[in-house]
Structure 1
Amino acid sequence: MALLLFVTLLCCSLLMLIAWRVQQASGNSTWIDVAWTFGTGAAGIGLVLWPLHGYGPITGRQTVVSVLAAIWALRLGIHLLRRALKGRDDPRYAKLKDSWGESYVWKMPAFLQIQAVSVFILGLFILLAGRNPAPGLNPLDILATLVAVCSIAGEAIADREVARFAADPANKGRICETGLWGWSRHPNYFFEWLIWVAYALFAISGFASAWGLLAWAGPIVMYLVLVHASGIPPTEAHMLQSRGDAFRDYQHRVSKFVPLPPRKPRP
């Protein structure tokens, strides 16, 4: 297991180094998110399925968790890949470049190695879900599967809604309040967080050990990252700068993270 963990961490580091080189050559930081997504899925699946003691049978839980991780990574990765191929840069990285100035040349690859560590750690949370030694599948596994399916479907719907909104020239300069975006300002982030809840449910299913409970660090870490660090704060700062009072009104009416019925407009 130690060797598997070391090789996985090394691969994560190399992947993000390649992502940095691609970003430098293309000038498009979305490639970083593409690498992060596919890397997280691959790391988790590899840690779940790689044989540790010979080629024994793969359990049902390993299969379900691996399939869900693959669907999640392919769906989100292909979505981001399409954005990268269209040349759409991520304003969060542009803001980092402006704030770092000349030191961006060496700070960016160092930052991406931190991203590599995050890929490895998230892979460990998938590992805890897939290698839960509890025999068979039980109702909590079914619940976890339903949560994961809702997460993947919800994020896909949110991405599709905002893409369709942005593709209409009549919506230029406006704020998307279509469908899920009328109930949450960041439904894509909410449903992204939800899949880590699913992995935590898999990890404790029928086996309430310290290792299983550790998987709950996954949704906690993702919540902190998405809501208080690199997710919502820079996105909303960019929207406030570009949309002004219209976005402030949107903030007042629509829930920040969890989808909830919108509040009435200010008088």
Structure 2
Amino acid sequence: MSLIGVACLAVVMMTAGWLWQWRHRNIGIVDVLWALGVGCAALLIAWRGEGALTPRILLALMGGLWGLRLAVHLWRRVRSEPEDGRYRQLREHWRGGQGRIFGFFLLQAGLVVLFALPFVAVAANPRDGFSVWSLAAVLVWLGSVGGEALADAQLARFRRDPAHHGKTCRSGLWRYSRHPNYFFEWLHWFSYLLLAVGSPRWWLAISGPVVMYVFLRWLSGIPHTEKQALRTRGEDYREYQRVTPMLFPWFPKDGARSSSEKNP
């Protein structure tokens, strides 16, 4: 079964990542390996799938390219910056206990398998040919992955300027959402739901956007990111919270100032 192969691959990758972080003292590598692992899962499941060729090719291209882009983006951050404050807090909370850190890495391996479930639905789709659902999936994928890449690039450019240290990015997409990268990441999972239309296992694809929203909104995404932002940026970030929508992009509240006005 493809998921068994995905699980084995994820465990090997996360074990190697745990050894890497032990040497470099940077748990952030786990995010790189999660994205890469899910991308590899799309390739493996598309290859081993029993459905029609067209949805499997689209799955391999869309899932693989998404995972590669995100992994490369995260790796650039991990290799050039100190350990993310969220993970530094976690390391301190566990007093550097490598057993607990290894357990955390294994948990991420399990999440790779969980997020591979929509791929199983797509790879079992018997409908061949490029349909209106395929077109919709490609358009959603292009818009969401492109939006996430743009948000990541805007934030990276802001962070590279030393004058912005300790300040909050309010330019570009970050003016309309406190987490536009998370929004587009969540939106991206609807691509596989659309690709799974007609599959006998289509219901598995629902898990993508549902589980991703739960993780981003209440578990590992927004709560931890915002706690860290409040620790490092204080009142500046509280003001940003007051005027800027949390996840779904919308216009900021009256009185909100632009990045250039707020961060001269």
TM-score, reference length from structure 1 = 0.90
Corresponding residue for 1:86? Answer: 80
The alignment covers a number of residue pairs equal to: 256
Q: Output one character per residue of 1:39-90: Cα deviation in whole Å (capped at 9) or x when no partner.
A: 11001210111266xxxx9611111121111211121111111112214322
CA distance in 1, matches of 2:231, 2:49: 51
Are positions 1:47 and 2:40 aligned together?
no
CA distance in 2, matches of 1:247, 1:63: 43
CA distance in 2, matches of 1:187, 1:12: 28
For the Cα contact (< 8 Å) 1:130–1:202, is it kept in 2?
A: no
Are positions 1:36 and 2:34 aligned together?
yes
Q: Output one character per residue of 1:161-189: Cα deviation in whole Å (capped at 9) or x when no partner.
A: 01111111221221101100000000111
**Same amino acid, percent of matched pairs:** 35
Range with greater deviation from structure 2 (254-263 or 82-91)? 82-91
CA distance in 2, matches of 1:75, 1:131: 25
Corresponding residue for 2:226? Answer: 236
Gaps of 5+ in 2: 257-264
CA distance in 1, matches of 2:95, 2:10: 27
Find the residue that maps to 1:101 and give its secondary structure: coil
Corresponding residue for 1:25? Answer: 23
- RMSD between aligned alpha carbons? 1.8
Please report how far the alpha carbon of residue 265 of structure 1 lies from its aligned counterpart in structure 2 after TM superposition.
2.8
Question: Which letter does structure 2 place at the counterpart of 1:16?
Answer: M
TM-score, reference length from structure 2 = 0.91
CA distance in 1, matches of 2:130, 2:168: 44
CA distance in 2, matches of 1:208, 1:128: 6
Change (3 A) 1:72 1:169: same
For the Cα contact (< 8 Å) 2:122–2:205, is it kept in 1?
A: yes
Gaps of 5+ in 1: none
Corresponding residue for 1:133? Answer: 126
Please report how far the alpha carbon of residue 230 of structure 1 lies from its aligned counterpart in structure 2 after TM superposition.
0.7
Q: How does 1:113-262 map to 2 (within 5 A)?
A: 113-204=106-197, 207=198, 209=200, 211-262=201-252
Corresponding residue for 2:100? Answer: 107
For the Cα contact (< 8 Å) 2:117–2:208, is it kept in 1?
A: no
Question: Which letter does structure 2 place at the counterpart of 1:41?
Answer: G
For the Cα contact (< 8 Å) 1:185–1:256, is it kept in 2?
A: yes
CA distance in 1, matches of 2:241, 2:175: 11
Please report how far the alpha carbon of residue 127 of structure 1 lies from its aligned counterpart in structure 2 after TM superposition.
2.5
Please report how far the alpha carbon of residue 94 of structure 1 lies from its aligned counterpart in structure 2 after TM superposition.
1.2
CA distance in 2, matches of 1:126, 1:149: 18
Q: Output one character per residue of 1:217-266: Cα deviation in whole Å (capped at 9) or x when no partner.
A: 11110001011111110110011111112211111111100111111138
CA distance in 2, matches of 1:44, 1:116: 15
